[in-house]
Structure 1
Amino acid sequence: MAKIGVLQMTSGIDPAVNAVTLTAAIAEAGRAGAAMLYTPEMSGLIDRDRSRAAASIVAEDDDPVLAAVRAAAAEAGLWVHLGSLAVRRPDGRYANRGFVIDASGAIRARYDKLHLFDVDLPTGESWRESAAYVAGDAAVVVDTPVGMLGSSVCYDLRFADLYRALSDAGATILSVPAAFTRPTGAAHWHILLRARAIEAGAFVVAAAQTGVHADGRTTYGHSLVIDPWGEVLLDMGDAAGLAFAEIDQTRVEAVRARIPVIAHRRAIPAVTIVR
């Protein structure tokens, strides 16, 4: 049994302010005895004004939020899944990149979001993540004190084949840091996350952004921890803050023994189309 912390944020346009929120949560989670803390997508900066945001998006080695989180993790002695930061690539474009940081402050794994959010919603909201960001090209599983962690970010949630690949590679926890819009969150957030847990027989930890942000957007919240049977262990509702849950890896073994979906998986043959 391992204790984890989940941070629900309302990140703003000032990375320094967001870094204070993150480091305070890391310290609090450490005092509470958590083995690992999970934070949302874009923990360091949320700003839809790309001209204004450009000054704050820097190379990974120069990112002050990443440096602050690494130092805080080392001081508190716990692991952190920093859900994602906007980082500048050598070609000048951006990556939506998550980090797994160990209790010494070292970066154990990186993951660049594979599926970019390019959609037009019925509410009139239009998003073109690919206008500035480059999609990743690799799935990532990393060993952590609470289990084998498979990384994803937000819109990745809608692509079940990614989670099949992660669980096939040994993941027993699927992390889904997010900044879901309110319309899509209300419609699909709980359903999709529970489905991913059930399909993989794995825990799902989904740290989310919430509320009205300084750039004018609104996000859905409801950070969740879900067990391998699809039971919701934690739902943080609308309020920003820190909450805790327990991860029992024997639950993964028990569920996968009860319904051995991973053992029963088969390569999908060519599809026959009949007209």
Structure 2
Amino acid sequence: MDQMLPTLLSVALYLAAGAGFAWRLASGAERAPWRPAFLAAGWIGVLAHGAALSQQLGDGAALDFGLFNAASLVAAMMTLIVLLGALRRPVENLMIFILPVAALLQLVNLAVGDGGAPMTTFPAGMEVHVISSVLAFSVLSIALVQSLVLAWQDHRLRHRHPGGLVRALPPLREMEELLFQMLWLGFILLSIALGSGTLYLDDIFAQHLVHKTAFSIAAWLLFATLLAGRWRYGWRGRTAIRWTVSGFAALLIAYFGTKLVLELILGRG
């Protein structure tokens, strides 16, 4: 298969970079000269990931947006966004989790694939909806990872265990500020995705979009409530983490729940 070589190259580089960043944080070697090498491995890995996806998704007006291809695409976007963020912010802690997951999703996609999934043809002008949807889910997935790291960091500090990896992480307040920056960006992208999607909604029942639309709106409301609570009442810490997890759970069902039921259970597109 044409995508096998770039997939395996990407997986190897992702795992190597993820292990390297884990070593840096565990050893407290923030100023070690290895950071550029690990970042370079991540960049080459995401380029190889993109090359594999170009073969798996297809080209032209019709694309193979099956469950596993979509998951691999989101993983690639998450990796790319985190690598771009690493140019200005200390986000190596996120790479420790995101890179291995991206590697795993690629292997699953290579092994299982979406060969039986129908090709999706997008109407002209729908590019904004598709791109904003993928970006929204990717950014909010990164926000979920950030919230889980923040929860673990908060738990360790509350129980007076500030050593190890906790000592290598940015301060709690900085981690929180980064979380809400991600949430705001993801919320704006999700708003664009929902708004642009309504332009192409002809028959919500015939298009199998009832559950997707309902859960997408539920996720939007949950994230909107969290951001409003942050602005009005200063929500933070465990409250912010709970709302982030709840919003992402609704979004996960909206984006992948329908695909899972239609493709794997019912055998339809």
Q: Which one has a larger percent strand, Structure 1 or Structure 2?
A: 1
Q: Which one has a larger percent helix, Structure 1 or Structure 2?
A: 2
Using the size of structure 1 for normalisation, the TM-score is 0.29
